[in-house]
Amino acid sequence: MSNNVFDFGMIGLGVMGRNLLLNMADHGFSVIGFDKDGAKNAALESAATPGTTVKGVAELAQMIQLLQRPRKVMMLVPAGQPVDDVIDSLIPLLEKGDVIIDGGNSHYTDTLRRVKYLREKEIHFMGIGVSGGEQGARTGPSIMPGGDQAAYEHVRPMLEAIAAKVGGTPCVAYLGREGAGHYVKMVHNGIEYAIMQLISESYAILKHAGLTNQQLHEVFKTWNEGDLQSFLVEITADIFLQKDDQTEEHLVDMISDKAGSKGTGKWTSQDSMELPVAVPVIDTAVAMRTLSGYKDERVQAAEIYAKEGYGSSAPSDELVQEVHDALYFGTILAYAQGLAMLFQASKDLAMDIPLPKVVSVWRGGCIIRSSLLEVFTNAYTQAPELSNILLNQEVAEVVKSVEENTRSLIAFAAKAGVPAAGLMSSLAYFDAYKSKRMPTNLIQAQRDYFGAHTYQRIDIPGTFHTEWGQQ
């Protein structure tokens, strides 16, 4: 085989790497993948569509030699040290102007460091977030590239070809400087955590009220045909129908309630505090996954705090509507907090993240795709520099239309003893955000009382301290 015949190279041929390469090949690009596992190389080639140009190799140098210049190489390997190890192995094989892409879930601070490191070696580096799971990778993911804009132009035709399409528009766009791509993906995952938590709470309330799995399927299926239409609501409806091949029970009832995580939601929560930006629904989702791990303690506490009156009530159309409205309300607040975080990070970290493009990219292919993103797209079309989507009039009208039912549903959950921390925190954030005056004046007084931390007044500019208790 002659040299320089492949358009794109992939390091790491797990499910995501393999499917992205096959997607590229289906769109007319010649692709080559590297993996030390020969079985994965064979699986790549055997899965290729007849007539496409796909090759797997077990030697990294061989792959690099076969790539067209400037070489375009993506890594899909575990975040952290493995990414640095691959970069170090690539540097001796690459030339000035070549492009390295990290397509995994790296923390953006690592991406910032790698951009600088490779810039000094005159090699382009990009961090690209990819959402959609294995099916999305194969048929059309949402792609969030950031970093070197000159490098983006080298890969843009390929990324636009393989991305999901909404109304003919590819769900990919250049999303900002330096670590912006991975930052946007991190916040995407934080929003994903939040929405999944909100859906699980909605499920818990409806199950408490006595709905069967079949009824739950029908409710979520109906919701997915309306204003709650989204990927996560759609798959939730499907989950309730799945039978367990071990017991013939519904599988959802046989799955442990200890939830795992890979850390990206925690990163969102941690980095929001550094800015700072308040994202309590995301914070709560992370905390509830942690709390789910306290299984033995929860079982003990359930016995200690058992209380009569926590039984289920008859399901009603009114309750189902209240759950629908509360889930819609909470979902809007989850997006609002994540997008507000991106707005602030774009400025404070000088990444120039274009929010109109972010919500457009999220409309198709990704895990958090939702009909709500069309509403947000309209909001950002009117005001590209909108600091919080709750300030948009169209969004405000939607929120106000479901506010009353949200309050009723949260009161029901509290009285019934059904944990609904995500829904509750979304309402608390909303009430605080729309408060002209919060009670934090008292906190300022307390801080000055015990620590002389000073305070500001509402009537006179400046900073003040009082010798408390000396009147």
Instruction: Verify whether residue 404 is a known catalytic residue.
Output: no
Residue 141: asked if its preceding bond is cis (omega within 30°), the reply is no
Please provide the DSSP assignment of 9-55 as one string: EEE--SHHHHHHHHHHHHTT--EEEE-S-HHHHHHHHHHSPTT--EE
For 174-186, letters b (16+ CB in 10 Å) and e give: bbbbbbbbbbbbb
Instruction: Verify whether residue 192 is a known catalytic residue.
Output: yes
188 is in an annotated binding site: yes
105 is in an annotated binding site: yes
447 is in an annotated binding site: yes
* Sequence-separated (6 or more) residues with CB below 8 Å from residue 282: 190, 191, 193, 194, 265, 268, 269, 272, 334, 337, 338
* Angstrom distance (rounded) from CA 471 to CA 466: 10
441 is in an annotated binding site: no
Structure-token match 């580096």, residue found: 125
* Angstrom distance (rounded) from CA 232 to CA 189: 13
CA atoms within 13 A on the CB side of 9: 28
* Angstrom distance (rounded) from CA 381 to CA 360: 10
202 is in an annotated binding site: no
436 is in an annotated binding site: no
Under DSSP, the state recorded for 436 is S
193 is in an annotated binding site: yes
* Sequence-separated (6 or more) residues with CB below 8 Å from residue 452: 465
* Angstrom distance (rounded) from CA 167 to CA 82: 38
Taking only Cα atoms into account, the Rg of the chain, rounded to an integer number of angstroms, comes to 25
262 is in an annotated binding site: yes
What is the sign of the dihedral through the CA atoms of 116, 117, 123 and 127? negative
- The catalytic residue among 178, 192, 201, 322 is 192
33 is in an annotated binding site: no
- The catalytic residue among 185, 207, 266, 357 is 185
* Angstrom distance (rounded) from CA 457 to CA 471: 19
Under DSSP, the state recorded for 437 is S
Q: Treating both helix axes as pointing N-terminal to C-terminal, what angle do 421-433 and 180-208 enclose, rounded to 10 degrees?
A: 120
* Angstrom distance (rounded) from CA 384 to CA 377: 9
Q: Return binding residues.
A: 105, 131-133, 188-189, 193, 262, 289, 447, 453
Active site residues: 185, 192
Q: Return binding residues for substrate.
A: 105, 131-133, 188-189, 193, 262, 289, 447, 453
